[in-house]
Amino acid sequence: MSGTRPVISHVVIACFDFAAMVAFYTKTLGFSVSDIGKIRDSDLCFLTFDPEAEHHQIALTGGRKGAAGEGALVHVCFRLSSYPALQARHDALMRASIDGMSTVNHGSWLSLYVPDPEGNKIEFRWDLPWYTGQPFAEPFDLALSENEVRRAILDQNRDNPRFQPMTEWRAKALEKLGE
């Protein structure tokens, strides 16, 4: 049954300034352009971090109307493979002088939220090996070592009855789904 569950493939973001957004997503965030062109009168750019996984994870299109930061999109999340990868992403964005970034410890994962030039948020996350009941959001410092962050989260959740190894939580969640 797990093969029938939907997984995120891509998100399309309408842009006010198509060229600036393509530049931000490629030069600042590091996406690769899979394809770029026009459909009728609309610019369209397909972007991916991993062409083996998806042709495009984000598509940008021109012609956005309304005010910056307003709309249905809250954020798009990309999973990173390690804590050093999260730190490196943060460091690269700091060097690019990106304003408005924030870090959040969600207990089960650590996140870096980054606004694009039009107010859309991109989340980069690294998963931890345990489940913390959600919602859970505390600031944390990416300058801390991975061991320091892990110890702090364990200390924060010492008496939390909803804190458990992720493998246990997944087994319970699958049982609820009848799998």
Say what percent of the chain tops pLDDT 70.
94
The CA-CA-CA angle for residues 167, 83, 137, to 5°, reads 70
pLDDT one-digit tens code per residue, 30-55: 999 988 988 778 899 999 988 888 88
CA atoms of 12 and 60, how far apart (whole Å): 6
| For residue 14, pLDDT beyond 60 | yes
Please tell me the predicted confidence (pLDDT) of residue 4. 54
pLDDT one-digit tens code per residue, 66-119: 887 777 677 889 889 899 999 999 999 999 999 999 999 999 999 999 999 988
Indicate the pLDDT class of residue 26, thresholds 50, 70 and 90.
very high
CA atoms of 128 and 81, how far apart (whole Å): 11
Q: What is the CATH number of domain 70-179?
A: 3.30.720.110
Indicate the pLDDT class of residue 1, thresholds 50, 70 and 90.
very low
* Cα→Cα distances 39→45, 46, 57, 114, 131, Å: 10, 12, 19, 29, 44
| For residue 151, pLDDT beyond 90 | yes
Domain segments of the chain: what residues?
8-65, 70-179
| For residue 131, pLDDT beyond 60 | yes
Comparing 8-65 with 70-179, is the CATH topology the same?
no
Please tell me the predicted confidence (pLDDT) of residue 20. 95
Q: What is the CATH number of domain 8-65?
A: 3.10.180.10
55 vs 62, residue with greater confidence: 62
